[in-house]
Structure 1
């Protein structure tokens, strides 16, 4: 009986527990689901409602049916469900966020707590599901708000910072600059009081407490901050309580007022030094003069009695309109100060320039109490400035615009011509035989003549056109606002003819400067004029001047005292050079160059080496000689990549010949241009090519021209010495054509002199050439240098040179330049 009662009691307790669980189950604010691997076993109505379902519609469903196909992570929802259920069945307890889907397809964010429970003797899973959709939306909105906030303060020119619990958590770039930091990392994470002067620690802490307690903005105050280098600066500060990164914090808006305070301090000092060298005026806030100093009286002529009680308008010159003064006072009201140049009137009516500074003086409440104006009479400075301007932009003799001002006006004319679609003309004048006048009568008379020429030319042009003196006897006229091209040419010609006529009238020159017997002399002058037209900015200023110069020389060639228009045919040579330049760049890019080799022989006719000579295999013109393109590569800089290619190709050929017994002894001479040699890293370039190709440096000879020796001899010697130490030898090419100093020649680490072919050509018939050849050979012997003659074409030339002691030759007598294959097998 006792056991039956115990069993009955336990049954009642179990029923009561079940009833309480079911009550909690149904009344819970969260969704509660029971499930196993096959699907949902049960749920409360709140949970079913979250998905827009009734409880009976939930039971039996798979959890994957109440989810979108994929989660935000991109994973398949079914895979994640299976993984989570498997882990929970093993006893894992997990809490995670999840994207669920209502029966109508709407998505909702939920937080799920998943764990295993014992139910009716079996193991199943319990999922407690909380709808966090609204929370997520608020979090996203907060995140977006903070993002906008960060963007605003990040780009704000006003220094901004945020600190929390006494530690800096954010500063914008403007604050980084103000505090002298390199980056925000120098400040973030550091105590905020590190950047506050100790005198202000208590004030700062009190303001922070006040902002937090009242959850608002503390009134602005001026504090003293410390930059990272310890420099103290005055800063106006506003504190505001904000939420930053989800937590309460204090935002600090700052403004560096150090300079403003210094200016105010200087104003007080200025007041102490009232009787200074500058004029000083003190007015009240209504701009009524209260006080002036002695210098004010000296500059303006007004005594203190005259000025006090009046306004500064008594000094007005009338040169400035109301807008000028409105802008000045607006600036003073906004910044507290203004400075600039102004024209005022003295008591006697004389107008004069002054440099004026006006500063607003403010009381403790920030209201303006006075204005202080300090000024200096800058009349003399303006005179000097005008003189400097005249020297900079005008010819001191004729007072015409000089070259600098002319170029500026020509640029303006080009711009105006393009804007208004009107023609213009540039006329370049050169006075014929002016040098004769200068040489016979002297420069003073010549200057007198030039002044008269300038005056006559100015009288021939319209207002708005320009006459300028370039220098010497060259003048320029710029005509603007001309008609269509044909009419413009006629208009320009008409002006030129008018000027020619004016210049051809007799000049009465005062000869007293020249010390002559007569007081004056009549002189006649003619001029040669080159004219070019322009309509837009398609041509540069330099190109226009070149065209006018070309046309002017055509006028001189035509007999002088005439004019010529620029003829496009004059551009033929320029156009050919431009086309050649384009072709050369293509040739380098496409590898159109060849390297030919011309034998160098000894007295027995044995080939001892070769000179590498570049040729251009043009796709249309065929084989082009170096004399037709090398000079232009020097001008346009292409000699550098071309020279490097020649050196590299020659070294590769040396490596090929090193493997052939009958060619291994050959040296290869490579010509090096001055522009190449003057490169700072020339030595490194040569050694790099030798290393890359594996060529023997003792088989490489670099040929330099005498013209190279005219520039920076010490640098040349250093480079030659460095390369010679590596085994590279040097030959001085075209010797005798330049200006070599014997003292330089002795210092150069040369191995060989090469007699230029221009002396060899007529060595048998021209005694001067023979003497030069003899001298070069003797010089080489005296210096211990080998001598080679180039351009040897006849046996007679070779025999003559041999008699003089020269036993190395190069020329057509021994072989023309050709491909490397043509040399192989020649007699060693």
Structure 2
């Protein structure tokens, strides 16, 4: 073979090898290489074998005389945009990139990605289009899935974000934007503890637990962009790294705003354990704290104290100035009590005007605890003495305090409360405005008092009360009236006098119901007198307690009884005590004036035993002063008593008031009184208290 023939043969083999190599390369490409004419049908000049895998049609379908137009495979909704984008790229002499759907031979839709460019001749004319087409259906689906998942995450109500191992935020959903206020571009790249967390210790604990255990759940206090704080229920999940996909280790954080729930829980807790008016712990809270204190005391062998406080004469303020003033006083008292104890001690309100102080068991000996309790009690009594400013007036109130020592070794919640309550009544019995420690002997008295209270309630139900009438006579020994005196006939026949039960009735407020019964019964008797010509001129005095007189409906109740019995009120006299007058002078005078317009007259009972004041006396619409029997007992032998009685008689005369002496038991007392100018008497010298029937007979005899 000639050398020239050998060269030609070598070139042919080289060209065939290159062609085979190019064909092999094109057949292995994950797509289609093409060359087509720049016409409306994109008439194919060349297609690689990948077209069959992409479309389901072989290469031969797109070439030849009756070739299929590749453009016909493009989805109708995408075709116009593909044409437009291609023409624009050709016109601007730049490559084009297209993404569109095609319909395969099997009728399925596939997403394709195409990149190509125009081929120009030496004159710049477009002679063909060349490019590459790839199947991106799987990628498109993956993108769609990512978009769908991102959309779902954005629709979640919870805040969802991701932080890397440097605590920097890498993902931030719409829920996080709504909860915290930062946009995604503002939050991404920021460190979580700096953006959201003020409590770095709590954050560090959560971080460490999530990294070491794979998960952490709990509550974190976080702040929003505007600075407001929220409580978030948060779950952290460690997402492991995936080296195959290049994903690094991260933490997924899901947070739910529970601020409203926490607020409601706190509100419910406050309603359950705190008094709404004073904001002090209530009875339920006190019982819980006392139980815990006793348990702790039993373990530590420490001693503490429990104090029971009651405001003296609090009801008077409510009755005279209204409940708003009473509420203001209770709130002011609560604040003073809080400032009178140590931070470790507890002040609680049981209800009404009753408060309790728990001095925590912290002392090693009973004596030391008693000294501490005495210090607190004395401070409270002293602090309460200063007047309280209530709106436009000042009001003074004192407190009676019962103190009992507590030890978990011997006391229970019930026994401690009972002993403190008993000691409080001992303080009241000692004159109020003071404190007393629990004395075991007082327990017996308290039991008797409780039984007495139950008996009083029974007496009202079973009509065990009776009224007797002690005659009142003038200087000529004629009966001019009587005082109605209450007696209690027990089921066994024994009779109790007011000194044995009235105090208990006043302390329990039963005196109001008893007083109503007394007035009604007395008026029924007075009506009988007024129906008898012999007794129609007699007056009847009825004792009215301070508790009863300040009742808001006292005047209305009196009018109702007068109307029901039909008595002439000009013969009805109310006996009031000095204590009532001094307690609330303005209200007392107003009520007296109202009743006086009905015809009722007034006598000041026990005059000289209380806080007598001429300033008060001359302003009261009184008709009579009554000399107390305590002065009459020794008026003939005690110069002081005699001087006091003379002064009362003289005072009554100067004020134009009738003066009556009770407790007149001897003729000598009666003669002395007559010589001093007192001419109305009541006492055993004449007669004891009689039943209604016997009094009528007695009065008729002395008519």
TM-score interval, normalised by the smaller of the two chains: 0.3 to 0.5
The structure with higher relative contact order (CA 8 Å, sep 6+) is 2
TM-score (norm 2): 0.47
Q: Which has the larger radius of gyration?
A: 2
